[in-house]
Structure 1
Amino acid sequence: MARIPASDLGRTLCGPVPQEASLNTVEPLDELQQLQRETFDYFLHEVNPVNGLILDKTATNWPASIAATGLALACYPVAVERELMSYEAAISRALATLRFFWESPQGPEPDATGYRGFYYHFLDMATGQRAWQCELSTIDSALLFAGALAAAAYFDGPDVREREIREIADVLYLRADWQWALDGGVTLTHGWKPESGFLGYRWEGYNEALLLYVLGLGSTTHPLPDTSYAAWTSTYRWERFYGYEYLYAGPLFTHQLSHVWIDFRGIQDPYMRRKGIDYFENSRRATYVQQAYAIENPRSFDGYRKCCWGLTASEGPGPARLNLNGIQREFYDYVDRGAPLGPDDGTLAPWAVVASLPFAPEIVLQAIDYCVHQAKLKEFNRYGFKAAFNPTHPGEAGNPYGWWVSPWHFGLNQGPIVLMIENYKSGLLWRLMRKCPYIVAGLRRAGFDGGWLLSSS
């Protein structure tokens, strides 16, 4: 491929996707289908088929991620519908995964798979035991439960295997002790370790915990109290940037992960009723703020423009300090990058752009087109887009891009691409989760009303 020098990347024109672009035109449809297929291949190949565990990251000797595994469970129905995976393969994979989690050891022992119904963030790919002395993670367990419930909603037929999927998904979810995870407080803790007890952090401020609280409230066994949701929303931060008023969170993924599962269009909780919008509209505004920030480009990074944006939690080329064109630049490793308040070191994440597709297709399709055809970010990659790139950082000598590009793929990034493309095209996962009684109950206990909730049983 002809390399685009980093100094020229910011001056290239954006791809010719008009404001009114939609999937009624053949080219965007084909491009999204191809990206969805290539991205889903991660879940086909980076898996232990015996236990269904999905690799967290394509690096040597890396463990599984329960969040990536939950996303995979939700992707299997999409794969069946899009003929990326046979029904037989999907049902076998889902069953292997759910059986593993139900049968794996639960207890306070440091090498168990979970405790109190929750699971450790990272698990050994082969044994399923806790890896790296990691935490028992409430949010990653929630993503696992959401995936199990999505599979249960899809496999709703009379087949004995489908019934088993539904039964195991149900008992897995209902085993989680949400009240224990409060640790005597009013908001949920981030997690727990057998060596030291509960982590010092709680889920406060607007973030991806929206799904976490809905699941905790919807439980019929150990539910969160109503007061926990009100306590969480009381920590929200309303801001105005670039002419948009919205509920602030800097990284894009915080405006996306809960929306992967739940259709927030037209439904409002008490907080959003007071503001006169819903969470879907909030994510649309956050997406536009990201683009506006890239256009302004206050830190003068290479590449930023109206079709090149997307700050989120991701790895980066650091830690490093480099003098580039007379400017001292500091680069970070993994950090929650965000707009417009930072941190920002010029690192962008294509997956986070794609995951905003349902909110603002008129600007996201243009950015996808740019990433594919001008930045060439699918070349040399096995599973669609790599996790992140930084046009300001020169990268390793001899790299084919001319700037830094992550060498890895992450399961946590791959899932939202597959699922948000599908939600944009057909709303499949949203429709499945509308049928989930625990999601409906959790939303109602949080005070949500209106829209599709009015007709839900």
Structure 2
Amino acid sequence: MKKIILISTLAGVLLMSCESTKPVIIATENQMINKSDEALMNQVQRDVLKYFWEEAEPNSRLGRERYHEDNIYPQNDKNVITTGGSGFGMMTILVGVERKFIPRKEAVQRLTTMADFLAKSDRHHGAWSHWINGETGKTVPFGKKDNGGDLVETAFLVQGIISVREYFKNGNQEEKNLAQKMDDLWKGVEWNWYTKGGEKTLYWHWSPTYGWEMNFPLKGYDETLVTYILAASSPTYPIDAETYYKGWTRNGTYTTDKSKYGLPMYVKHNGAEEYGGPLFWAQYSYLGLDPTGLSDRYVANYFDLNKNQVLIDYKYCVENPKGWKGYGPNYWGLSAGYTRNNDGSVGYTAHTPINDSGVINPTAALSSFPYTPKESMDFLRFLYQEKPEFIGSAGPYDATSINYNDWFTPRYLAIDQGTISPMIENFRTGLLWNLFMNAPEIKQGLKKLDFKSTKYTF
């Protein structure tokens, strides 16, 4: 007679026979080991939705800048919402509707509350500030002189606004009303004001107190490409093509013939030319902007550019020149987010191969699914199977480290959590890419900038 041994696990029960070492797995609702890749992607998309659905700021319903399960909130900022992260949150909600994680009608009501709040919030020549008080709509300074319009954060928000408009514009009357509210919001952004009086470049910040003293021109390759695309696409306050090519591309001088690990880099990443920048540079502008077969006068394929940046990061982590414990094919990805300081406290930094402290931000690999589906899936499966302590109430925690005795911070950032579900969905169905790229103004703007695409007709 066979002897059966019951072994309790975190997610289910293993039945072990003494005649065989092969387990028969009885899966419970939370059992991840034998679930298909599709089910794993569903799981993480459902998990990260909680950040923007269950943990949203209660008045505005927009995304909190941060959510801390350990209840440590710097500067008492429980009601501080983040502009860009809220745009990513809108896209996350659309994925939730499409996958029936949340009811469509409730999502429309929630998004309408967001739109009404944004319409009444402080705006600075149409742009929103980086942080906003979710109770009052007033600007919360991100820094002493950063107390006005933040054009890049506004662009990330508008990606979400346009996606929501496109998703609901042909729906019932309530949905059409929501689409109109979103349309009004996006058309109110004075993109051309942020050329600082007509200079042929966009500027990141303007303050009603300090004017242009922040003096941060958007030049060269980083995360800000979509800002130029939206500015060129605006039907109300547009920039011209010359501003894009003189500003963003530095008159075409931002290209490079340099390679790493045998992979062409195509462009000079601002301040990170050896390996490329943090991985959010391949993500933030591309939640809506589809890089697949997308080219301009100087870059032949933005998808290849982004894919190579991610693969260089991956290959660096596999090579692991600093010898961090845990780094490898299943545990990789360097991006901006929380980090572990030398004294064990929690800080913030932009992790890259040239700023590598042994800390992995899960958003890096998970938001890279369109570029590296196998490598990203390996990371996702490893995380949910082998490191459940790295996962909290709203999905993977923002910062983790196997090297430091499985250290993690039980905290989340909207701007990191918000890219995961949309980018996975873009890999799965292209949902957000199709919504954004088929918006009439975006097509016109891309055509004006002499972009070409193998997928879309401009």
Common fold, TM-score beyond 0.5?
Answer: yes
- 1:99 aligned partner: 116
1:206-217 equivalent positions in 2, closer than 5 A: 206-217=221-232
Name the CA distance, whole Å, in 1 between partners of 2:390 and 2:324: 22
Q: Which AA in structure 2 matches 1:415?
A: G
- 2:27 aligned partner: none
Give the unaligned 5+ runs of structure 1. Answer: 4-24, 105-112, 323-330, 394-401
Identity of aligned residues (%): 26
Name the CA distance, whole Å, in 2 between partners of 1:158 and 1:343: 47
- 1:145 aligned partner: 158
- 2:235 aligned partner: 220
From 364, 367, 370, the equivalent of 1:355 is: 367
Q: Which AA in structure 1 matches 2:394?
A: Y
Name the CA distance, whole Å, in 2 between partners of 1:155 and 1:56: 26
What is the DSSP-based 3-state SS (H/G/I as helix, E as strand, rest coil) of the residue aligned with 1:263?
coil
Name the CA distance, whole Å, in 2 between partners of 1:236 and 1:26: 44
- 1:162 aligned partner: 175
Give the conservation status (yes or no) of the 8 Å contact 1:351–1:413: yes
Q: Cα offset for 1:283?
A: 1.2
Give the conservation status (yes or no) of the 8 Å contact 1:205–1:237: no
Name the CA distance, whole Å, in 1 between partners of 2:402 and 2:207: 39
Q: Cα offset for 1:92?
A: 0.4
Q: Which AA in structure 2 matches 1:81?
A: E
1:55-70 equivalent positions in 2, closer than 5 A: 55-59=64-68, 60=73, 61-62=76-77, 63-70=80-87
Structure whose residues are more often strand by fraction:
2
TM-score by length of 1: 0.83
- 2:280 aligned partner: 253
Deviates more, 1:164-173 or 1:147-156: 164-173
Q: Cα offset for 1:431?
A: 1.4
Q: Which AA in structure 2 matches 1:38?
A: D
Q: Which AA in structure 1 matches 2:37?
A: P
Name the CA distance, whole Å, in 2 between partners of 1:392 and 1:200: 39
Q: Cα offset for 1:182?
A: 1.4
Give the conservation status (yes or no) of the 8 Å contact 1:347–1:389: yes
| Paired residues, number | 402
Quickly say closer, same or farther: Cα 1:279–1:332, change in 2 above 3 A.
farther
Q: Cα offset for 1:332?
A: 8.6
Name the CA distance, whole Å, in 1 between partners of 2:349 and 2:171: 46
The superposition leaves residues 380-418 of structure 1 with CA deviations (integer Å, 9 ceiling, x where unpaired) of x1111001112333xxxxxxxx33212211111122111
Give the conservation status (yes or no) of the 8 Å contact 1:358–1:420: yes
- 1:52 aligned partner: 61
Give the unaligned 5+ runs of structure 2. Answer: 1-7, 11-33, 270-275
Q: Does 2:284 match 1:284?
A: no
Q: Which AA in structure 1 matches 2:400?
A: F
Q: Which AA in structure 1 matches 2:227?
A: L
Name the CA distance, whole Å, in 2 between partners of 1:442 and 1:258: 15
Give the conservation status (yes or no) of the 8 Å contact 1:332–1:345: no
The superposition leaves residues 313-361 of structure 1 with CA deviations (integer Å, 9 ceiling, x where unpaired) of 112111x369xxxxxxxx993222213xx11111111111111001111
Q: Which AA in structure 2 matches 1:359?
A: Y
The superposition leaves residues 248-295 of structure 1 with CA deviations (integer Å, 9 ceiling, x where unpaired) of 43200001112211222122111113xxxx111111111111111012
- 1:428 aligned partner: 431
Give the conservation status (yes or no) of the 8 Å contact 2:87–2:159: yes
The structure, 1 or 2, with the larger RCO (C-alpha pairs under 8 Å, 6+ apart) is 1
What is the DSSP-based 3-state SS (H/G/I as helix, E as strand, rest coil) of the residue aligned with 1:333?
strand
What is the DSSP-based 3-state SS (H/G/I as helix, E as strand, rest coil) of the residue aligned with 1:409?
strand
- 1:375 aligned partner: 387
Name the CA distance, whole Å, in 1 between partners of 2:9 and 2:159: 43
Quickly say closer, same or farther: Cα 1:155–1:216, change in 2 above 3 A.
same
- 2:195 aligned partner: 182
Deviates more, 1:228-237 or 1:344-353: 228-237
Q: Look at both structures and tell me which one has the larger radius of gyration over its CA atoms.
A: 2
Name the CA distance, whole Å, in 2 between partners of 1:452 and 1:133: 39
What is the DSSP-based 3-state SS (H/G/I as helix, E as strand, rest coil) of the residue aligned with 2:138?
coil
Give the conservation status (yes or no) of the 8 Å contact 1:357–1:424: yes
Give the conservation status (yes or no) of the 8 Å contact 2:52–2:62: no
What is the DSSP-based 3-state SS (H/G/I as helix, E as strand, rest coil) of the residue aligned with 2:356?
coil
